[in-house]
């Protein structure tokens, strides 16, 4: 599919403005944001006005019937993803679903199989891989200078107030592994390859939340590499590195380390080089979210170009199942006290 792509966004809440800004900025690449939808009419109308979108809806089915969309971008919370994705498939629409893919494994598999049965494009908006600092790390790994990675620590630890923007976190039945674990475990796969087994200990350290807000995971990768993968919203450290994922990746010839403030140190064959990573500041971005906001733009750009070229996105539904399977295995490990092999669909 080449040329212009008429896009409808479903969900006009906290995070959707990043998608809408991205689609507007991707107009030169063929994105036409033609409709937005939210069950809350005030939010749908406000989004249409703020982003000069010609049509707004409170019902996705009506939007699908009335607009000749070429892509639907689902930016609602996970509990609505099965219903909205299946509705999109019935209308034969290429579909993007925000992370986390769905509330559980069976629901994720159902969405992926639904898209495959219908022969439709399906991508998950997994944006951490597209963050500028992490893409630099990937480039260095792929250049081979440190050799094949054999050990890593991948760490997202913050005490930044995320609850004001995302108050639904208080009531989640499964919290940090589905919210942040999906990102950091996806990075573990991205940098070190597929995971053979995972062990996990969760903690609920904030008395106001219902489920786990801290997860400490240990992955054995198929390659033999080992990674420590951590995420928490309960680290009270200043300066708070939010929203940086900090890494140490070791190979036989050297180490890549990222440090707070978008700093990187790369040691190769006994020589260390330090650098600062410049994060582009998009015209609509605000610190400290600018790095995440830029990654949303890059994720949308990647998915759009994959659709236009008729190929799968790197973060296809099928690919994201592999990340989600590790999340499920982490929950099972925490419950059973054993290392767990991720499921295959």
Of the candidate residues 108, 122, 141, 292, the single one contacting ligand NAD (CB under 6 A): 292
Q: Taking CB under 6 A as the criterion, which residues in 70-89 touch ligand NAD?
A: 75-78, 80, 84
Per-residue x/- track, 245-284, ligand 89Y (CB under 6 A): ----------------------------------------
Q: Taking CB under 6 A as the criterion, which residues in 177-196 touch ligand 89Y?
A: 179
Token pair belonging to 327? 């999340």
Closest CB to ligand NAD among 102 and 146? 102
Decide the pairing of beta strands 246-250 and 151-157.
Answer: antiparallel
Question: What's the closest the beta carbon of residue 222 comes to ligand NAD, in angstroms?
Answer: 26
Question: What's the closest the beta carbon of residue 190 comes to ligand NAD, in angstroms?
Answer: 15
d(CA 297, CA 274): 27
Q: Taking CB under 6 A as the criterion, which residues in 88-117 touch ligand NAD?
A: 98-100
Of all residues in the shown chain, the one whose CB is closest to ligand 89Y is 162
How many amino acids of this chain bind ligand NAD (CB under 6 A)?
26
Measured between alpha carbons, how far apart are the two ends of the chain, in Å?
28
- Whether omega before 286 lies within 30 degrees of 0, making that bond cis, reads no
Is position 46 an interface residue for ligand 89Y (rule: CB under 6 A)? Answer: no
Distances (CA, A) of 159 to 195, 203, 274: 28, 15, 27
Token pair belonging to 276? 């600062």
Is position 17 an interface residue for ligand NAD (rule: CB under 6 A)? Answer: no
Question: What does 212 bind: ligand 89Y, ligand NAD, none (CB cut-off 5 to 8 Å by kind)?
Answer: none
Of the candidate residues 241, 243, 254, 317, the single one contacting ligand 89Y (CB under 6 A): 243
Burial label for 234, CB within 10 Å (0-12, 13-18, 19+), is middle
Strand ranges (DSSP E) for the chain? 5-10, 31-37, 55-57, 71-74, 95-98, 122-125, 151-157, 195-203, 214-221, 226-232, 246-250, 254-259, 263-268, 271-276
- Whether omega before 306 lies within 30 degrees of 0, making that bond cis, reads no
d(CA 271, CA 274): 10
Closest CB to ligand 89Y among 90 and 237? 237
Residues lying near ligand 89Y in the complex (CB under 6 A): 162, 166, 179, 243, 292
Binding site for ligand NAD (CB under 6 A): 10-16, 37-40, 43, 60, 75-78, 80, 84, 98-100, 127, 166, 168, 292
């Amino acid at each position: 599919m080449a040329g212009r792509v008429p896009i409808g966004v479903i969900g006009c809440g906290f995070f959707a403005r990043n998608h809408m800004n991205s689609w507007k900025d991707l107009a030169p690449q063929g994105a036409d944001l033609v409709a937005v939808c939210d069950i809350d009419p005030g939010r749908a109308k406000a989004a249409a006005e703020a982003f000069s979108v010609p049509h707004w809806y409170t019902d996705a089915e009506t939007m699908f019937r009335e607009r000749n969309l070429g892509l639907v971008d689902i930016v609602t919370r996970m509990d609505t993803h099965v219903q909205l994705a299946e509705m999109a498939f019935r209308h034969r629409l290429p579909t993007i679903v925000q992370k986390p893919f769905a509330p559980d494994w069976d629901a994720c598999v159902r969405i992926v199989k639904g898209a495959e049965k219908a022969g439709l494009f399906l991508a998950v908006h997994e944006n951490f891989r597209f963050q500028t600092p992490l893409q630099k790390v990937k480039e260095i790994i792929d250049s081979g200078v440190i050799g094949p990675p054999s050990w890593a620590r991948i760490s997202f630890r913050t005490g930044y107030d995320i609850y004001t923007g995302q108050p639904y976190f208080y009531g989640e039945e499964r919290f940090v592994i589905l919210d942040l674990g999906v990102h950091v475990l996806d990075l573990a796969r991205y940098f070190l390859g597929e995971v053979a087994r995972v062990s996990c200990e969760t903690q609920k350290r904030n008395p106001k939340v219902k489920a786990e807000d801290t997860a400490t995971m240990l992955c054995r990768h198929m390659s033999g590499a080992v990674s420590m993968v951590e995420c928490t919203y309960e680290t009270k450290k200043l300066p708070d590195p939010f929203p940086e994922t900090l890494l140490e990746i070791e190979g036989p010839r050297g180490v890549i380390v990222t440090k707070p403030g978008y700093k990187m140190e790369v040691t190769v064959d006994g020589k260390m080089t330090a650098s600062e990573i410049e994060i582009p500041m998009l015209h609509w971005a605000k610190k400290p979210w600018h790095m995440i906001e830029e990654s949303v733009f890059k994720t949308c750009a990647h998915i759009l170009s994959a659709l236009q070229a008729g190929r799968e996105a790197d973060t296809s539904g099928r690919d994201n199942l592999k990340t989600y399977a590790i999340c499920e295995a982490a929950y099972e490990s925490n419950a059973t006290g054993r290392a767990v092999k991720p499921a295959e669909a």
